[in-house]
């Protein structure tokens, strides 16, 4: 209901158990959706997952180019945020903020999925495990689409 009040008309939710009509039962490690069908993927259960890398991979797979992946975890600091952001192989770290969600203090981590931009220019530097997120993002400016794509 809250999303409908904000103007969002098409929402697909998945969970381990059904909660009809909006939430369908699905395996988060193997989502039953095509590549790039969503503008946004959100998870508040990543830290409970047996295979967090697999869930992040499914989030990235189902989010289209230009979309966003958002993860909410227990409130944490820079090192933990870095570790979570490093799970994402195709998305770029945008920011993290401590928020209150359903009455709990959590950290919201936002990842931007600009696959073409990411893969061409930053493939080597971003996968260097010796670099923290801050070091990797130091040369970045907010994303602007290259002129030849217009």
Residue 147 pLDDT: 39
Which domains does the chain carry?
34-138 (3.40.50.150)
- Residue-wise pLDDT for 23-61, tens only, equals 778 888 888 888 999 999 999 889 888 999 999 999 999
More confidently predicted of 110 and 14: 110
Residue 4 to residue 150: CA distance in whole angstroms: 32
**pLDDT value at 78 more than 70:** yes
- Least confident window among 14-18, 83-87, 138-142, 145-149: 145-149
Segment 120-136 mean pLDDT:
49
For residue 18, the model assigns a pLDDT of 66
Instruction: Report yes or no on whether pTM surpasses 0.75.
Output: no
């Amino acid at each position: 209901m809250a999303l409908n009040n904000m103007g969002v008309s098409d929402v697909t939710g998945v969970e381990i158990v059904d909660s009809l009509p909006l939430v369908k039962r699905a395996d988060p490690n193997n989502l039953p959706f095509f590549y790039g069908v969503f503008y946004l993927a959100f998870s508040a259960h990543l830290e409970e997952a047996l295979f967090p890398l697999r869930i992040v991979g499914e989030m990235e797979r189902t989010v289209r180019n230009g979309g966003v992946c958002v993860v909410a975890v227990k409130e944490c600091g820079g090192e933990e945020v870095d570790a979570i952001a490093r799970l994402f192989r195709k998305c770029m770290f945008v920011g993290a903020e401590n928020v209150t969600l359903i009455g709990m203090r959590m950290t919201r981590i936002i990842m931007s999925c600009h696959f073409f931009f990411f893969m061409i220019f930053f493939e080597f530097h971003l996968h260097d495990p010796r670099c923290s997120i801050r070091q990797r993002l130091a040369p970045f400016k907010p994303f602007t689409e290259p002129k030849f794509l217009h």
